[in-house]
Structure 1
């Protein structure tokens, strides 16, 4: 019998979770009464937006892309454009670079957390409020958890970003504390916000106009922060912080600053906006350049050099001068840009192919006319995970992994390359990685309108356990059998109800299995069948038992034949266990009980029922 390992699909918290619709970021309301709708895959202008958002804007849709509510740091409006019940008077500032943020509470279908941080002119601190969409007939209302201060972020300014924890469920809310000079990562779980954040040291800075946004890369390995101004002694002097980020711990490790200035107090290049290509390989930064007539400039950097400040700076390619301020990746895989610094602009520009190096990224200035209303400096603040181009639902070798496409509209055709020389043309492919390791999954998408998109993500596959109980086995009846997977680390669960032990001993025949689960949650089952050899059979067709007489010893047992595994040996024993002889026919027996012991070629001993000699 050929055995196959069974790799068990788990649905535990540490497995990446697929949400079978990722349309919560399909509608943007921002700037001075403007909006875009990405539900069709093409950005459509939303007319008659009745709210002024300035910089601080956040919008939440349901998983189907239907508008739920919007937020500008002070006022929440429901899907009908009305102020939400108890949705005014929120503490925040709509001019702050990233002053508003909305995230759905983990594990809840109806609760949303709204966060605010102030602009650089105020130290009001970081606050949160909670919206319950079950209230007011489904239009939502702010609960009594309103304007709750997060005391540990009393000095937070301008910066606010959200990204899911490595477990795929909890959410990190990250801000920058300027007085204490550190990053603060708050964890939002199904039980609410943990008020004590993970604190990570930041680069020394002064406290002057720390405008500019902050982004985590889409692979969740990096964090980049913009600071537009800093003129004091030891100031950042208009730089970007380049940092590493750990989505499991929330820790941020500062690496170096990136600046285009010469280190004097004179400022020429002011950093403003940050965005990454969907595959996290390219970094886009904008600068306000006083030397070229107060224009904005867009630059691209190669993130393969993120550990070396000189090489990263040398990888710089200028993409454009003009309407390139705020940057934000959208659900269509393109990066959208606001206008220049001083003027409220009535266009949105687009980087159509942000995964391409240099000017091949296809930057189009003034791509969408938003007039007569105006675009402000920054675009909506979005939970990073809503912007994944594709996702997957497992991470163990030997286990079927389903890949979910998040491309809109539905592609006309699609090609998946899984990084192990395997490909698929299925929209929702299922793939099995035979071995653990890091694999770059590349996807080429052809849309109905002829547009081609290429994107990639790295999937880290954990090597599944390899328990081996050996081949099915046969033993002599009653022989204990030890089953062991002691060489395979992990936790153990056996079919006989034993837990936590790598070894068990069994006495009965049957199928036995063990599940071994490693620290990363990958589980594999191996099974074995334990059977008994066929026993020797005594054929009594010609059996003759001759009694003794007069108390003598002249009884006999004759005529038995033995069927079993050849060769066999045998011996006759009395009731006291004494060997009497090795001939199959035995004579000279007194009154008593006699037993034939038969040993087959496997060493299995069969003992007959008693044969009785009478007088």
Structure 2
């Protein structure tokens, strides 16, 4: 009997861990959604109420249950109703990474929604506070649109601090080469950022603010897509203790670079680009050790956008106004062995736009 118990215990632990992944539920695009909760095969969700052209974010409980989701302007609770004060947030559904949700490390009930405005406009980087004890446990926002810095590009990423408790939220100043790193602790959001002046300027016409920012799975690398005039992807080192960004390198030119994502093992970076004005949709793989760049896929879609690594280890590709996502099936593998499938995942009749949900990276 004791031996049977010992055999069952690891299985129970594995099932429990499976149920607690914070990235199992996605809402995005034209009321599209996915759940990865039932094994590693994502299934469409058709209950979402959000429409967003680009950025979005989802919050779940420690058990992996839906709490709320947002496009950076409106916040929907787990019953898919707008929270009482969940309107007029100063992000934008047309900002690449309009919203990112960070839990308060000192509370299981408080969450911060960080938002960035589109095209370097004055609303800048702000945050709003969600209190899940309000509205009978469905959540409400006691404070909204608290300004951190302005203006900023459309880039927003978050990673767990090296202490395993706090979280770094990283954005990029507009008309500047400065990354800004804010620390979220049990005391709240730091008032002043750490500035890292490194890499290319994010400047020029407002459209140059377009492009994603992502952390590697171990949190030691940061990658950015620089759109239109800059036309490239940049990779940096990141210090999870200090929040400092350093040591830039780049790949380019790639016209209208937009999405970025790292492979699960962190050895490769993927990027999407559309060509000037769209119509030349390509997915590139960059080997971070050899610096080789390889074209690994093209899409029949006129535009593709965000890349997002799923809890199943695949990378999903947003295809504008399409009922399917593209899928990179084996992103750790070199070149076309990564196996990109353009119509890789049906969305149950809903449609993708250019965005996929952003999450905190937890190494």
Normalising by structure 2, report the TM-score: 0.89
**Partner residue of 1:224?**
223
- Contact 1:241-1:254 within 8 A present in 2 as well: no
- Contact 2:120-2:174 within 8 A present in 1 as well: no
1:156 aligned residue (146, 149, 152): 152
Ranges in structure 2 where 5+ consecutive residues have no aligned partner: 1-16
2:332 aligned residue (343, 347, 355): 355
**Partner residue of 1:186?**
182
1:294 aligns with 2:279: yes
2:344 aligned residue (345, 356, 367): 367
1:252 aligned residue (207, 225, 245): 245
State how far apart, in whole Å, the 2-side matches of 1:181 and 1:350 are.
33
Q: CA deviation at 1:219?
A: 1.7
1:33 aligned residue (22, 31, 34): 31
**Partner residue of 2:201?**
204
The runs of at least 4 consecutive aligned structure 1 residues that moved more than 3 Å come to 19-22
**Partner residue of 2:305?**
325
- Contact 2:298-2:342 within 8 A present in 1 as well: no
**Partner residue of 1:276?**
262
Match of 1:77, SS state, is strand
**Partner residue of 2:130?**
131
Q: CA deviation at 1:54?
A: 2.0
State how far apart, in whole Å, the 2-side matches of 1:242 and 1:59 are.
26
1:377 aligned residue (335, 338, 354): 354
- Per-residue displacement from partner, 1:301-342 (whole Å, max 9, x unpaired)? 11114xxxxxx1xx1111111155321001111111111xxx
- Contact 1:128-1:146 within 8 A present in 2 as well: yes
Instruction: Point out the structure with max Rg over C-alpha.
Output: 1
State how far apart, in whole Å, the 2-side matches of 1:257 and 1:73 are.
30
Q: CA deviation at 1:21?
A: 6.0
Match of 2:273, SS state, is strand
Q: CA deviation at 1:24?
A: 1.9
- Contact 2:228-2:276 within 8 A present in 1 as well: no
Q: Report matched runs for 1:101-140 at 5 Å.
A: 101-120=100-119, 122-140=121-139
State how far apart, in whole Å, the 2-side matches of 1:96 and 1:380 are.
12
- Per-residue displacement from partner, 1:445-491 (whole Å, max 9, x unpaired)? xxxxxxxxxxxxxxxxxxxxxxxxxxxxxxxxxxxxxxxxxxxxxxx
**Partner residue of 1:172?**
168
State how far apart, in whole Å, the 2-side matches of 1:199 and 1:290 are.
32
State how far apart, in whole Å, the 2-side matches of 1:327 and 1:319 are.
14
State how far apart, in whole Å, the 2-side matches of 1:123 and 1:344 are.
29
State how far apart, in whole Å, the 2-side matches of 1:254 and 1:177 are.
18
Q: CA deviation at 1:257?
A: 2.8
Structure with bigger RCO (C-alpha 8 Å, 6+ apart): 2
State how far apart, in whole Å, the 1-side matches of 2:137 and 2:281 are.
43
**Partner residue of 1:141?**
140
Over 3 Å counting, the alpha-carbon distance change for 1:254 and 1:366 in structure 2 is same
State how far apart, in whole Å, the 1-side matches of 2:244 and 2:120 are.
27
State how far apart, in whole Å, the 2-side matches of 1:85 and 1:325 are.
32
Match of 1:359, SS state, is helix
- Per-residue displacement from partner, 1:14-43 (whole Å, max 9, x unpaired)? xxxxx8964221110001111111101211
Q: CA deviation at 1:362?
A: 1.9
State how far apart, in whole Å, the 1-side matches of 2:43 and 2:288 are.
32
State how far apart, in whole Å, the 1-side matches of 2:21 and 2:190 are.
27
State how far apart, in whole Å, the 1-side matches of 2:22 and 2:202 are.
36
State how far apart, in whole Å, the 2-side matches of 1:354 and 1:205 are.
29
- Per-residue displacement from partner, 1:387-409 (whole Å, max 9, x unpaired)? x6xxxxxxxxxxxxxxxxxxxxx
- Contact 2:18-2:37 within 8 A present in 1 as well: no
- Contact 2:126-2:146 within 8 A present in 1 as well: yes
**Partner residue of 2:75?**
76
Match of 1:181, SS state, is strand
- Per-residue displacement from partner, 1:348-386 (whole Å, max 9, x unpaired)? 01111111111111222111222643211121011111x
Over 3 Å counting, the alpha-carbon distance change for 1:73 and 1:205 in structure 2 is closer
Q: CA deviation at 1:148?
A: 0.8
Over 3 Å counting, the alpha-carbon distance change for 1:290 and 1:206 in structure 2 is closer
**Partner residue of 1:473?**
none
State how far apart, in whole Å, the 1-side matches of 2:310 and 2:27 are.
13
State how far apart, in whole Å, the 1-side matches of 2:32 and 2:233 are.
29
1:241 aligns with 2:234: yes
